[in-house]
C-alpha cells in the first residue's frame, strides 16, 4: 500500500489478556517506530527498529511489552497481561534512514482494556 497500515484499528480487551498489534510500513522503509499516545498528550516513544533489530527499546514501559520485526518489514507489538493503564492509541511510523527523519505515521490502533 501507499502508506503505513495498522491493524486492528480498534481493540477492546479484558484486563489480563494478551494483545497483538500489527504494523505494515511503507515498502522500502528500513526504520520502524512504535509510539503510544494517551488523550491530550503527544506521542510517546516506545521502540525503534532498524531493519530486523531493535536499535532502541528504551521506551518500552516494562517487560509486558515486546515488539518484533522478523523480516525487516511488518512489525508486531505484543502486550501481555494487559492492564487498564495500557489503554491508549498505539501509533506506528516508518521512514528511510537516508533522509532527515521525517516520520510517516499510520492511523493507529486504539486499545481499550476493560
Residues that bind another protein (CB under 8 A): 4, 33, 35, 40-45, 48, 55-56, 59, 91, 93, 100-108
User: What's the min distance (Å) between Cβ of 33 and another protein?
Assistant: 7
Helix H, strand E, coil C: the string for the chain is: CCCCEEECCEEEECCCCCEEEEEECCCCCCEEEEEEECCCCCCEEEEEEECCEEEECCCCCCCCEEEECCCCCCEEEEECCCCHHHCEEEEEEEECCCCCCCCEECCCEEEEEC
Residue with Cβ nearer another protein (27 or 100) = 100
Residue with Cβ nearer another protein (83 or 107) = 107
Residue with Cβ nearer another protein (45 or 66) = 45
Amino acid at each position: 500500500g501507499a502508506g503505513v497500515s495498522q491493524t486492528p484499528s480498534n481493540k477492546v480487551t479484558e484486563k489480563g489478556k494478551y494483545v497483538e498489534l500489527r504494523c505494515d510500513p511503507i515498502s522500502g522503509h528500513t526504520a520502524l517506530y512504535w509510539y503510544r499516545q494517551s488523550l491530550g498528550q503527544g506521542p510517546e516513544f516506545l521502540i525503534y527498529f532498524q531493519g530486523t533489530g531493535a536499535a532502541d527499546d528504551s521506551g518500552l514501559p516494562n517487560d509486558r511489552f515486546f515488539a518484533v520485526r522478523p523480516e525487516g518489514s511488518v512489525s508486531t507489538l505484543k502486550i501481555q497481561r494487559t492492564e487498564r493503564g495500557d489503554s491508549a492509541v498505539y501509533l506506528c511510523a516508518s521512514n528511510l534512514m537516508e533522509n532527515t527523519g521525517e516520520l510517516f505515521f499510520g492511523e493507529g490502533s486504539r486499545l481499550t482494556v476493560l
